[in-house]
Structure 1
Amino acid sequence: MTAPTTVRRGRPVFTVIAVAILVLLVGGAGGSYQGKLSEVQKNDNASYLPGSAESTRVSNESAEFIKVPTIPGFVLFDKTEPLTDADKTTILDAQKAISAVDGVDTDGIAAPTYSSDGRTASLFVPLVAETDDGTPIQGDALAETENAVIAAAQQTAGDTITVLPAGPGGLLVAFIDAFSGLDGALLGAALLVVILILLVVYRSPVLWFFPIISAVLALGVSSLIIYFLAKADLLTLTGQSQGILSVLVLGAGTDYALLLISRYREELHNYENRFDAMITAWKESAPAIFASAATVIIGLLCLSFSELNSNKSLGPVAAIGIGCTLLVMMTFLPVVLSAAGRWVFWPRKPKIDHASDLTTHGLWGRIAALIAARHRAAWIGATVVLLLCIIGVVSLDTGGLTTTQTFTNKPPAVTGQELYDSKFDPGTGAPVVMTVDAADAAGVIEAARSAPGIATKENSVCVQADFAKIAALLQSLGPAALAGQTGCAPVQLQVEPIDGRTLVNATLADPYDSPAALATVKNLRATVHDLPGDVRVGGQTATTIDVQDAAVHDNKLIIPIVLVVIFLVLAVLLRALLAPLILIVTVVLSFAAALGVSGLFFTHVFGFAGADQSFPLFAFVFLVALGIDYNIFLMTRVREETLEHGTREGVTRGLAVTGGVITSAGIVLAATFAVLGVLPLVFLAEVGFAVAFGVLLDTIVVRSILVPALSYDIGKKIWWPSALAKAAD
């Protein structure tokens, strides 16, 4: 069919041009805010939880007793032989140097303790977590303080003593340092991978530049918006969210660009005027691109039902990224691409030959014909392959990871934590924190001391000591004031009850983030909740438990909601019920297969200790929301071809004409998510692998074989109950 030689232009075209200019200005200005996102990140477990969580309530209540909220941490001094008296003097000098570092709670620093073999000393160094006006100190400032502490210790200790960080403070800094690569290594690697793939896809040394610069502008616009929302505490931005934002914008943006440019190239065979070709391409590809973006955005916003603040805000963060990407790719990209002219496709510049019908020749034309000829064997075979992949789910352990297991490398804080756990009481520094009625404190202490998993030393379960009182006593009477003091702090040095409530700490016998510690706190909660009065159990370990419980809750709630929402979007787009149902089932099958293969690789290839409870939800949202994109791209084109050629012919033509571009888009998206492995964190490496493999599986098996073969076999009934289901082929 010959296309018209001209296209009517009107106000919408000039609106697109105006928006493109605005996007260029805002995106250019927003580029600098990408580097500022780390300033508004929150990476502590407590910020992930809602106010209703028990550990959050304990944290809020205990803040009234502790004048200076802190994050516990340790500095270790280690030698291969026993520490000498001169070494111990050096360690005391290091303690003085650390006390002079801004951001350290000087009153909370305890005297050095020494391991039983005499080779290691531990110095408790808490970091101030809030300013005087109660504002939480941001992660980058905490990292600077911790680094200054270690630098002061190393400078004093010299080369003969090894200095290592440990405890929650040191590990928090390790997380922050891991995310510091977002601005450089991650984005740089992702851009390089996408550029290489686009060079192969387009076979042009020029064309790749336009999708890339558009994606960078989209990232700038979204970074600008997210920065101010996070700064105003309207959403919580974590390092995970920022990392996913970068690859999501780049991957999805390139997908949209590939679809638009592919259709533009088709229309350049029909229109002499490149602007007419772009207007037609925009109109023809817009429904699929807008529907795809809408599906992803709505699916991501379903995360708003999450109990975890991190998941709840990941939805808006990622949705903003997709929305900005859609805006840029449908305004800026078509304007600059059409303004540039046909030369951008050099050396394969499309000519006006009305030869844009690619459905009868080429590789994908042959693939489509083969699937049509053996459609039943094709969809049955593809289903069997997916079912075999699902078997690997038995290897997937989503029981959670300890803090030291969450890194793919071994930062100094992990080395220090392992050394601390082997030389000292592992539960020290991150106690269980209980808020209790003061009148019932004695009974709670007695119950806690007898609970399995609680340390057995005489000072293991005590009312919170008042460090300000202790510091004042030491200042007036000197160290002799506490000479020989063991066990809990005397009553006069404990915190004063507030509104009849007080604070009790219990030291764990195991590392605070270990499975044994988690089990201890769960049992302790069950024990003390049965006691008279209102007893609440919090602390680092309790926070981890609450995060894990919330993650399991989110998995059960959000996954069904996302499926229902995506089904409704597809039903409206395709004006049918059976086709959306089939697409949903195939994508879920693909998701389960990706989980199965991921379980095998995590356990037997990468050697990961397990996966986080949130992993299935993250993998599901991205795989289903993004995986359905390719089915949208395919089926909207199939429906378009069906209107003219009938269903079965429409399936083969739709697959033939979209096969190359959709496969290229899938490879780009898979590559960008795989780049998450650049960051040394197990969670992001696992999400990156699962999404990358799942997208390739969906692109190559589901969209290329299963969906078209099954649609061909069903025939026109796939459009039930629309009129197409009754139309003659």
Structure 2
Amino acid sequence: MLAITRFISGKRTAWAVLLGTIVAVGLLFTLLPANDSTDFPAAGLPESSQAARVTELLTTFPSADQTAAIVVWSRDSASLTAADKTAITAAAAQLGAASIAPRAATPQFSDDGQAALSVVPLEALGATADIEKAATAIRSTASTALPGGLTAYVTGPVGFQADITNAFAGADFRLLLVTVIVVAVLLIVTYRSPVLWIVPLVVVGLADGLAGKVAGALAEPLGFALDASISGILSVLVFGAGTNYALLLVARYREELLHTENRNVAMRTAVTSAGPAIAASGGTVALSLLTLMFAELAGNRALGIACAIGVIIAILFALLVLPAALVVCGRGLFWPFIPRVRAQAAPARTGFWTRLGRGVSKHPVIITVISVLAIGALAFGLNGAAVGLSQADQLLGNPESVVAQRIVDASFSAGLTSQTVVLAPEAASADTVAVALATPGVSAAVAGENAGGLTRIDVTLDSEPGSDATFATIVALRTDVADAPGAVSQSLVGGSDATALDTKTSAERDQRLILPLILGIVFLILALLLRSIVAPVLLIATVLATFFASLGASNLIFQNLLGFAAFDTSVVLFAFLFLVALGVDYNIFLTTRAREEARRYGTREGMVRALSSTGAVITSAGILIAAVFAVLGVLPVVALTQIGVIVCIGVLLDTLVVRTVLVPALVFLVDDRFWWPSNPVATRQ
């Protein structure tokens, strides 16, 4: 390690590191294959789920290459006129002529007289090749020669997929642009220099670009698929984590420049001192992400692998490329506040963070109690929280498919736009239809085509797609079918709502498995790094408290301000992953410095000095990464907005309260026992 540190910080070798990096990155960008990512996130269910088995079996049916758009006409809650019905009938005839089943497009008029609906079967391959173009063409045809005030909307599988694809269109560029602006502004404010911010931003930007390229190239060999949501989270995480590591390294480098004239020696000391903390922090994040490889959902596995690749690249750039770049640029990079070697011993620390540390040390019990009560109060915001959004609640704003679904809910059967499919043995199809019709919540069940000894039964539910009521009906239908006598019990229930239900079930299973694994990894890394058992227990307790408090506070915001009915299925796991991993980052930054200072000054004074040295950089890093994750809100997708808000609140709570007040108070309470069974204080000079 020392030889590598000497090389990257050497007077001439630092230039070699930079030139070698430029050449290597250029070659990788040129030689690595492009990633054929998709804008539409896939469910990625395990093969054992009923919905996945139905989806696979449906590929053998004649209608396997079909999808459907549902067109809804409405006059904004007013009754349709005779002229409206004539125009709708004519438009539906044109839609039928453009579909693969003209008769299916015959319009249905609602009983309340306020809406009409037409199902437009389409050839799946052609429609999904450019889903937005297909939806636009259908909307244009449906809107032809309509009377004033009558509007056509596209929903159903084609409409929802088009809106989701549109939500992610250009996501990478928008996220990157906003992230770069946010990071640049915060670095300028943090460093108070018009030039210093450029170097970390360029280095982290290169790491982000390379991470996306490497993850894309490894996607196919490693068996995972990237979509726009994963790429967006990857970019945000690399920028956030990479800038965090840069802030820590630059802060330590600047501190060493106050004691050492030779900037190469100063950088060598900075990397040697801060490097283990950065490597341990990044390693914790990467290993935590890799626990997602054990997840059932393919999307979770893909996110874990891609983001772990990104974090590893961010660590390498922070510890190898950034030191070389800073050394090459010299002290002038810090202008106008250029650090100079002090001619005499440094005066006693009297800054804000030192005063805060000494204040906490005088009243650790009171501060601990107040902090715990405040965090607990925020956690109580989880009362009434729910997990799982309906299909219409997954996008922000009022996209066309959601508006159309609301019209269907009001004027037709809410489940009319969704699709539930039962595959039954041919000989038992009639009995299976009877069982389905007898299930509460099912409004219709019609047997259709046959293939491979199975009959497809299309089932319509009464409730809104993706709602709790719909999930309850799917569960009841599966139970009734399984409990039926004879061949009926061999039937399988699938379709879009069943897929959503199985996705939720797998996500809950992933949470039960992954969360303990992450905590185990964090405990082991902290125990090895701090050579303590007490410290990891206390630190993990603070991280968990921060997680529940941020969830509670976010739930209050979601339900009372943003109008989100529940957490998205994937949000809790991802929020836990990022908050725990990032929270441990700040734990490591603070406690490794406290252990270093404890060798010279004892545990209590060591913590005060550690807080004095790292308080500003931890706060700056926390504010920066909170702002970076908040950038996820630029996309009109509820799940990403929720992740951004939860992580933003959690990181701010962690850096402004937990890491700067509660953790020092706990250390002051337990004193030297914090390091048990090791004792760094025993080695004091």
Normalization by structure 2: what TM-score?
A: 0.91
Quick check: 358-367 or 439-448, which moved more?
Answer: 358-367
Deviations 1:560-590, CA, capped at 9 Å, x for gaps:
1110111001111112211111111111111
Alignment of 1:463 with 2:441, yes or no, is no
1:444 aligns with 2:438: no
What are the Cα deviations for residues 102-139 of structure 1, in whole angstroms up to 9, with x where unaligned?
A: xx6567953233334555432212444447xxxx956x
Shift of 1:448: 0.9
| CA distance in 2: counterparts of 1:463 and 1:355, whole angstroms | 90
Give the letter aligned to residue 208 of structure 1: W
Deviating more after overlay: 213-222 vs 117-126: 117-126
SS at match of 2:416: strand
C-alpha deviation, 1:214, in angstroms: 1.8
Cα distance in 2, alignment partners of residues 509 and 159 from structure 1: 32
Equivalences for residues 242-321 of structure 1 within 5 A? 242-321=231-310
| 1:435 is aligned to 2:423 | yes
2:144 maps to 1:115: no
Tell me, yes or no, if the aligned pair for 2:52 and 2:494 is still in contact at 8 Å.
Answer: yes
Please say if 1:619 is aligned against 2:575: yes
Residue of structure 1 equivalent to 2:618: 662
Aligned to 1:92: 90
Which residue matches 1:596?
552
| SS of aligned partner of 1:573 | helix
Is residue 53 from structure 1 mapped to residue 49 from structure 2 by the alignment?
Answer: yes
Write out aligned runs for 1:192-271 (5 A). Answer: 192-230=181-219, 234-271=223-260
What's the offset of the Cα at 1:505? 1.6
Which residue identity lines up with residue 315 of structure 1 in the other structure? G
For the pair 1:566 / 2:510, whether they are aligned, the reply is no
Give the deviation of 1:283 after TM superposition: 1.6
d(CA) in 2 for partners of 1:680, 1:93: 31
Alpha-carbon separation, structure 2, partners of 1:547 and 1:415:
25
- Partner of 1:704, secondary structure, is helix
Give the alignment partner of residue 473 of structure 2, picking from 520, 544, 551: 520
CA, structure 1 residues 161+23, in 2 after alignment: closer, same or farther (shift >3 Å)? farther
For 1:673 and 1:124, the matched residues in 2 are separated by 40
Distance in 2, Cα, partners of 1:292 & 1:8: 19
Q: In the TM superposition, what whole-angstrom CA distance separates every residue of 1:72-92 from its partner, at most 9, and x where no partner exists? A: 321223345635468635753
Is the CA contact 2:600–2:684 (under 8 Å) kept in the aligned structure 1? Answer: no
Indicate how the Cα distance of structure 1 residues 233 and 728 shifts in structure 2: closer, same or farther if over 3 A, else same.
closer
Q: Contact (CA 8 Å) 1:296, 1:319: kept in 2 or not? A: yes
Query: 1:155, CA displacement in angstroms?
Result: 5.5
Match for residue 329 of structure 1 among 312, 318, 330? 318
Kindly provide the amino acid, as one letter, of the partner of residue 462 in structure 1.
V
Output the CA distance in 2 between the equivalents of 1:159 and 1:23.
62
Distance 2:366 2:347 in 1: 26
Among residues 104, 127, 134, which one is paired with 1:145 in the alignment?
134
Partner of 1:491: none
Distance 1:226 1:360, change over 3 A: same
In the alignment, structure 2 segments of 5+ residues that lack a partner are none
Contact 1:40 1:231 in 2 (8 A): no
Structure 2 counterparts to residues 9-28 of structure 1, below 5 A: 9-10=6-7, 20-25=18-23
Identity %: 37
Q: Give the secondary-structure state (helix, strand or coil) at the position aligned to 1:507.
A: strand
Give deviations 1:295-333, integer Å, cap 9, x for gaps.
001111111221121112211121112112112222222
Q: Is the 8 A contact 1:26 1:220 kept in 2?
A: no
TM-score when scaled to structure 1?
A: 0.86
1:507 aligns with 2:464: no
> 8 Å contact 1:454–1:509 — kept in the other structure?
yes
Is residue 71 of structure 1 aligned with residue 71 of structure 2? no
1:471-511 CA-to-partner distances (Å, cap 9, x unmatched) read xxxxxxxxxxxxxxxxxxxxxxxx2341x322222121223
Secondary structure class of the residue paired with 1:461: strand
Which piece of structure 1 moves more, 522-531 or 718-727?
718-727
Gaps of 5+ in 1: 1-6, 465-494
SS of the residue corresponding to residue 408 of structure 1 reads coil
Change beyond 3 A, Cα 1:608–1:266 = same
Structure 2 match to 1:474 = none
Match for 1:650: what amino acid? G
Residue 647 of structure 2 is aligned to residue 691 of structure 1: yes
Q: Distance between the aligned counterparts of 1:244 and 1:436, measured in 2?
A: 41
Find the aligned partners of 1:118 and 1:27 in 2 and give their Cα distance.
63
Letter in 1 for 2:242: G
Distance in 1, Cα, partners of 2:461 & 2:574: 32
Aligned AA (1:593): A
- Check the 8 A contact 2:94/2:141 in 1, yes or no: no
Q: Which moved more, 1:84-93 or 1:409-418?
A: 84-93
Change (3 A) 1:629 1:359: farther
The CA deviation string for residues 50-103 of structure 1, in whole angstroms up to 9 with x for no partner, is 111110001101221134433332122334563546863575356536855xxx
- How far, CA to CA, are the matches of 1:105 and 1:231 in structure 2? 34
Shift of 1:235: 1.1
The residue type paired with residue 51 of structure 1 is: E
Number of paired residues?
676
CA gap 1:287/1:358 in 2 versus in 1, 3 angstroms: farther
* Cα distance in 2 for residues equivalent to 1:564 and 1:686: 26
